[in-house]
Every structure is written in C-alpha cells, then in structure tokens.
Amino acid sequence: MEAGDRLITLVVHTEERALRLKEILEFHDIHVTLEDVTLPDLPLQVAPKKVRIPVASLALGLKILESGEVKSSPLALIKMTGMGSHLLIPVDFSPSSMTAVRVGFFLAEKFGVEPIILHSYIAPLFTPAENFDSLGEGQEDNMEFDAAEAAGLRKLASSRLSAFKTEVLRACKSGLIPDIRFSTTLLEGIPEQVIQEYCKQNHPLMVVMATRGIDKKESDLVGSVTAEVIDSCRIPVFTVPENYVPLGVEGIKRVAMFCTFTSFDVATVRGLMRTFDYPACEFSMIPVSDRPISNAASRLEELCRYLSDMFPTAAFHAAGISKGRFDDRVSKVLSANDIQLIIVPNKKSSAFSRFFHPTLAHRILFDRDVPLLVLPV
C-alpha cells in the first residue's frame, strides 16, 4: 500500500452524520470507510463511527468538512430563518407554467418541502353597496348579472386548475417531474398583488415563476407579473424562461453571481453549495453596489480566492470589472461565459433596480432564456 492510499481518520461522528458525510465525500470521488469505535468502558446509546479516507484526499476532505455541510440540512436552515415549509408556484396555464412546475417540483424535492400551485383570477367589478340608492332603473339586474358572472369566472378558473392538476399528476406518474405530494389553491385578485399578499402572510421558502420567452415582443414585457413580484417580494424568487429546457443541478455548470462585498456573498455561496451537495461549477463574480467601490478589482480577487479555498469543488473568478455601462459589461460577461444561471441580490431601490432596467431585462433576462435566482438582502 502506497502512502497516499493509507487511511486516516477524518472525524468521528454518530452513524447518521457519518453516513451523510460519507455520501458527500464519495460524491467528490473520495473513497470512504466507516469503522466502529469500540469504547468498552463508556456505554453509549448511539455507537459512533470513524470516517476514514485516504491520506491523499485529506486536504480536500478537510475543506469539505470545514465548510459546515453536515451541521444542518437545508430544511433546518429554512426553519431557522422563519420561512415556511412549502414552495409557491404561480401558474396561468400557459405552456410555460408546466416548465415552472417541473423546476419548482425539483427544487421542492431537494429542499424537502411541499410545492403549492397557485392560480389567481380577476372577478368583474361590483358597484359599492353604499351606492345602491343611486342605481337607475334596470341597474339592479346588472348587479345580479355581475354576481352571476363572478360565480361563472370562479367556476371556470376552478375547472381549469383542476384540469392542470390532472396534467401535473400525469407528469408525475410518467416521471417527467418528481412524484411528490403537492396541493393547489385558487385566489381572486390581480396576480402580482395576490402573490405578494400570499408571501406576506404565508412566507414560502421560494417563489418559482415563468417569464416571457425570446419570441415575445418588448411590449409584452411591460407590467410582467414576474417582474412585479421580483421588484417587491421579500422572498427568494426563481424565474424560469418560457423556452428554458430544465438542466437539473448537474447540468448547471456556469453561474453568474452579482456580489455586494458583504456577508451576503459568502452566505449565499455556502447555502447553494451545501444544498446542492457541492456541485462542480464555475462562478463568474460581478460586483454591484449603490456607490463606487474602492479597490474593487483587488477586493473581488480576494473574495474569489477565499471562496475557492472554502469550496474547492467549484471555481470562482472575477468578472465585470472593465469600464463601460453596467448593462454592457453584464451582457459581455454572460455571453463570454455562456452563463446558465444568474444570481442577483435584491436590495430595494438599489442594486436590483440597476439590474432590472427594462432594457437590461429585455437583453439579458428574456432574450437569453437564462433562469434567474433573486435573493432578498
């Protein structure tokens, strides 16, 4: 046996945590052996396990261990932050709705939460009750017609939601989307307002929504429900382009992340790496700030080195430092690196407002069919 193949004990854990760590280490091609710890003079209710790996893999094993993955599950982190145990997927029954459901169900399964499919409909306007006395002859009949119309619209919306649910169930059984428990809900109101109010009251873990595709005219983007939700919601929002082909986590290799030079950057990367089992992907880090950043280039390089040391399975490199308009710099980074996912911090009326300029939304968000993960800070 060569020196590099010799086994060394990385850590001693309970069996449950040892198995979890073994799974993560093996994902990164590290051979793992679990051995019982014999302590005859110390009776234990739970038998501990030695996690042993080759000496040659010790450096990588220590870095993965120190990143804190085995300390808490994604669901535990969700509960600590006060978020709910479900994920919201608003739909309008367009073809892109099923794409959003596919992505939403995968994320819900990964997080261990229940997806809820939401549809909202707009009922006809009613004349306020206080104005009944001013109604002219025959207008009472119109009120009855409005009530009947409202009931008809709700019945139609309910029927369409039921048909969509059947379609989702069929997709679950066929293996097109994860076969997990889900529910549906029907609410009355303007879609973006309904979603915003729902999030305020129920605090879902995340909102997964579809966006327009590249074949839509720019006029279609104005007043987009997804854009309205992104701009005002304080819940993470994952947008799914209409023409997007879901890649799964394994298929996403190139990520653009807007960094703020705050603790948000490290916390975001740690959460992503922990949740998705330390994927081997490449991060293009783009600085964004309300004010000019002193020594931005050197600070960005330092951040990339720090993240690379902490998460050795991924690559982090600085991007977007060149001079010029912010929109143009972003566009160049996305094109040059063939970005498959964009991560954006959402700080009201600051970083995100610069990013979500209508022109930039058209050129980058919608034209490129790239999913966007917007995180509140």
- What is the span of the domain harbouring residue 98? 80-124+137-190+203-215
Query: Residue 5: is its pLDDT beyond 60?
Result: yes
Mean pLDDT on 89-117? 90
Is residue 22 in a domain?
Answer: yes
Kindly report the CA angle at 228 between 219 and 186, in degrees rounded to 5?
Answer: 105
Query: Residue 292: is its pLDDT beyond 90?
Result: no
Cβ-Cβ contacts under 8 Å for 296 (sequence gap 6 or more): 287, 321
Structural domain count, the chain: 3
- Report CA 73 to chain centroid distance, whole Å: 16
Mean pLDDT on 25-38? 82
> At residue 308, what are phi and psi to the nearest 5 degrees?
-65, -40
Q: How far apart are CA 222 and CA 233, in angstroms?
A: 18
Q: Of the candidates 243, 248, 254, 251, which has an alpha carbon nearest to the alpha carbon of residue 316?
A: 254
pLDDT at 2: 60
Is residue 224 in a domain?
Answer: no
Which H helix or E strand runs over 315? Answer: strand 315-318
Per-residue pLDDT reduced to its tens digit, 245-280: 776 666 788 999 988 887 778 878 887 787 777 778
- Per the model's pLDDT, the better-predicted residue between 241 and 352 turns out to be 241
Share of residues in the chain with pLDDT > 70 (%)? 71
For the ranges 20-34, 82-96, 123-137, 195-209, the lowest mean pLDDT is seen at 123-137
* Residues 269, 361 within the same domain: yes
Query: Residue 368: is its pLDDT beyond 50?
Result: yes
pLDDT at 371: 87
* Residues 118, 210 within the same domain: yes
Instruction: State the pTM of this model.
Output: 0.69
Q: What ranges in the chain are assigned the alpha helix state H?
A: 15-27, 58-66, 74-80, 95-111, 139-174, 191-202, 225-232, 248-251, 263-275, 296-310, 326-337, 351-355, 358-360
Q: Of the candidates 331, 348, 346, 343, which has an alpha carbon nearest to the alpha carbon of residue 372?
A: 343
* Residues 32, 103 within the same domain: no
Is residue 264 in a domain?
Answer: yes
* Residues 265, 355 within the same domain: yes
Q: How far apart are CA 371 and CA 175, in angstroms?
A: 22
CB of 354 closer than 8 Å to CB of 323:
no
* Residues 64, 86 within the same domain: no
pLDDT at 367: 56
* Residues 274, 330 within the same domain: yes
pLDDT winner (highest mean) among 127-136, 171-180, 211-220, 317-326: 171-180
Is residue 236 in a domain?
Answer: no
pLDDT at 117: 97
For the ranges 2-6, 80-84, 86-90, 143-147, the lowest mean pLDDT is seen at 80-84
* Residues 175, 259 within the same domain: no
* Residues 285, 367 within the same domain: yes
The domain spanning residue 269 has which CATH number?
Answer: 3.40.50.620
CB of 238 closer than 8 Å to CB of 372:
yes
* Residues 37, 99 within the same domain: no
Mean pLDDT on 96-106? 91
Is residue 223 in a domain?
Answer: no
Query: Residue 158: is its pLDDT beyond 90?
Result: yes
- Per the model's pLDDT, the better-predicted residue between 361 and 172 turns out to be 172
Is residue 141 in a domain?
Answer: yes
Cβ-Cβ contacts under 8 Å for 230 (sequence gap 6 or more): 237, 239, 346, 352, 356, 372, 374
- Under DSSP, the state recorded for 361 is I
Number of residues assigned to the chain: 377
Instruction: Kindly compute the dihedral angle of the four CA atoms of residues 301, 314, 233, 125, in this order, to the nearest 10 degrees.
Output: 130
Query: DSSP string covering 28-85, please?
Result: TT---EEEEPP-TTS--SS-EEEEEEEGGGHHHHHHHHHTTGGG--HHHHHHHTT--S
CB of 260 closer than 8 Å to CB of 345:
yes
Is residue 221 in a domain?
Answer: no
Share of residues in the chain with pLDDT > 90 (%)? 23
Is residue 161 in a domain?
Answer: yes
Given the structure tokens 């993560």, which residue do they identify? Answer: 24
Confidence of residue 40 (pLDDT cuts 50, 70, 90): low
Per-residue pLDDT reduced to its tens digit, 169-180: 999 999 999 999
Q: How far apart are CA 274 and CA 236, in angstroms?
A: 17
Confidence of residue 229 (pLDDT cuts 50, 70, 90): confident
* Residues 371, 295 within the same domain: yes
For the ranges 30-39, 141-150, 336-345, the lowest mean pLDDT is seen at 141-150
The domain spanning residue 39 has which CATH number?
Answer: 3.30.70
Q: Of the candidates 171, 180, 238, 246, which has an alpha carbon nearest to the alpha carbon of residue 204?
A: 238
Cβ-Cβ contacts under 8 Å for 362 (sequence gap 6 or more): 218, 221
CB of 242 closer than 8 Å to CB of 210:
yes
* Residues 257, 371 within the same domain: yes
- Cα dihedral across residues 336, 338, 343, 349: positive or negative: positive
- Per the model's pLDDT, the better-predicted residue between 365 and 222 turns out to be 365
* Residues 207, 276 within the same domain: no
Query: Residue 206: is its pLDDT beyond 70?
Result: yes
Instruction: Enumerate the β-bridge partners of residue 50.
Output: 12, 35
Which H helix or E strand runs over 258? Answer: strand 254-259
Terminus-to-terminus CA distance in the chain, angstroms? 51
pLDDT averaged over the chain?
77
Query: Residue 131: is its pLDDT beyond 70?
Result: no
